[in-house]
Amino acid sequence: MKKHNFYAGPSILSEYTIKNTAAAVENFAGTGLSLLEVSHRSKEFVAVMDEAQALVKELLEVPAGYEVIFVGGGASMQFCMVPFNLLNKKASYLDTGTWASKAIKEAKLFGEVDVVASSKEANYTYIPKNYTVPEDSDYFHITTNNTIYGTELHNDPDVKVPLVADMSSDIFSRPVDITKYNIIYAGAQKNLAPAGVTIAIVRTDALGHVDRSIPTMLNYKTHIEKGSMFNTPPVLPVYSALQTLKYYKELGGIPAIQKKNIEKASLLYDEIDRNKLFHGTAVPEDRSLMNVCFVMNEEYKDLEAEFASFAASKGMIGIKGHRSVGGFRASLYNAMPVESVKALIDTMKEFEKEH
Ligand SMILES: *Cc1c(COP(=O)(O)O)cnc(C)c1O
């Protein structure tokens, strides 16, 4: 039976990415060696790193004055790296979920943190809108897609200070106005590659303005100056990332991907809204195109376990909701084909008919 991979992360990767990565594990770039056993300083691997960085810049239209780096430590490491490098006195944060609040916790170790708004009291079902960002903030941190709660900022906010964004779960899903940002970071394992690498897009003149000393490995400058080769980079995730980026380019770039994402998410939200058994948990205007969260309506609550096993019997994988929301979550990352979304919709319809 065909499996439909709705995992939230690590998550679906394109067939192109998996096939090419598997081939390189056997024989990398015609070297006769495995990708797993070559020096990261070999000319073949340096070319991979260079091309991956160049493709990130090309796809996201990164302007001059920014550098792209690949580092370890996950997006969670960026929660501390960002304030370490940028927070001199005060930073502002928008609290839109679990990941945002983890970023806030780390920032507090480095200075004053102004949480300008939070939707915690409503279990993060919406993105706060009417807030003011103090103009003396070193930056304003946002989480563009809230993977756990299924909400998303669909535009780059207009504020008077530079933005910093955790785009772990929606990078490459929509065009972004990079000029508004000092740093964008994203763990690879949602829209790019296997876990183990994180990309950061860094405005270079935003660095060097804090008074503290920064440990070498946590300093963005180190990784920029050494072309992400200060220490041994995770070669396999970087190679996979390059395959995904090539695949994105082949698809027609970010605008084409965005169009497909809108189509996929609309199909599924329309079914959730129509189907008598389910309702969505996020307010409609803030619904995520990447992570679709839905629960059973009150009068059908006792059918939840039954739907879970029915869906599993139809090949639906990874649709169990996060424990802080419950119900179901279908993640529709870039690599997810529309056919899988349609298969899930058919499953929901069929289950509705039986009840
Ligand atoms: C998954 C995720 C993280 C955590 O990423 P790690 O690489 O596991 O540290 C952080 N932020 C968001 C928005 C995520 O989706």
| Domain ranges, ordered by start, for the chain | 4-12+253-354, 15-251
Q: Helix 253-274 vs helix 338-353: angle between axes, to the nearest 10 degrees?
A: 0
Measured CA to CA, the distance from residue 279 to residue 104 in angstroms comes to 31
Q: Using a cut of 0.85, tell me whether the model's pTM lies above it.
A: yes
Give me ligand 1 centre to Cα 271, in Å: 28
Indicate which atom in ligand 1 lies nearest the CA of residue 97: 13
Closest listed residue to residue 244, CA positions, set 11, 3, 70, 15: 15
Of all protein residues, the one whose alpha carbon is nearest to atom 5 of ligand 1 is: 75
Report DSSP letters for 210-253, one per residue.
-SS---GGG-HHHHHHTTT-SS---HHHHHHHHHHHHHHHHHTH
Of all protein residues, the one whose alpha carbon is nearest to atom 14 of ligand 1 is: 168
Measured CA to CA, the distance from residue 222 to residue 73 in angstroms comes to 15
Report DSSP letters for 278-338, one per residue.
EEESS-GGGB-SSEEEEEE-GGGGGGHHHHHHHHHHTTEES-BPPTTT-SEEEE--TT--H
Of all protein residues, the one whose alpha carbon is nearest to atom 3 of ligand 1 is: 75
Measured CA to CA, the distance from residue 219 to residue 203 in angstroms comes to 13
The neighbouring-strand residues paired with 4 are 316
3-state secondary structure of 27: coil
Q: What is the pLDDT along the chain (355 residues), one digit of tens a residue?
A: 999 999 999 999 999 999 999 999 999 999 999 999 999 999 999 999 999 999 999 999 999 999 999 999 999 999 999 999 999 999 999 999 999 999 999 999 999 999 999 999 999 999 999 999 999 999 999 999 999 999 999 999 999 999 999 999 999 999 999 999 999 999 999 999 999 999 999 999 999 999 999 999 999 999 999 999 999 999 999 999 999 999 999 999 999 999 999 999 999 999 999 999 999 999 999 999 999 999 999 999 999 999 999 999 999 999 999 999 999 999 999 999 999 999 999 999 999 999 9
Indicate which atom in ligand 1 lies nearest the CA of residue 99: 11
The domain made up of 4-12+253-354 has a fold known as: Aspartate Aminotransferase, domain 1 (3.90.1150)
Q: Which of 138, 156, 170, 190 is catalytic?
A: 190
The neighbouring-strand residues paired with 199 are 70, 186
- Cβ-proximal residues to 158 (8 Å cutoff; 6+ apart), any chain: none
Q: Helix 253-274 vs helix 235-251: angle between axes, to the nearest 10 degrees?
A: 80
pLDDT at 223: 98
Write down the CATH number for the domain with range 15-251.
3.40.640.10
> Is 211 one of the annotated active-site residues of the chain?
no
Omega cis (within 30) before 83:
no
Who lines ligand 1 at CB under 6 A? 9, 74-76, 99, 143, 147, 166, 168-169, 187, 190
Where residue 192 falls (left for φ over 0; alpha for ψ -120 to 50; beta otherwise) is alpha
Give me ligand 1 centre to Cα 192, in Å: 13
> Is 226 one of the annotated active-site residues of the chain?
no
Backbone φ and ψ for 276, nearest 5 degrees, come out as -70, -15
> Is 190 one of the annotated active-site residues of the chain?
yes
Give me ligand 1 centre to Cα 184, in Å: 13
**267 exposure class (CB count in 10 Å sphere: 0-12, 13-18, 19+):** middle
Same fold, 4-12+253-354 and 15-251: no
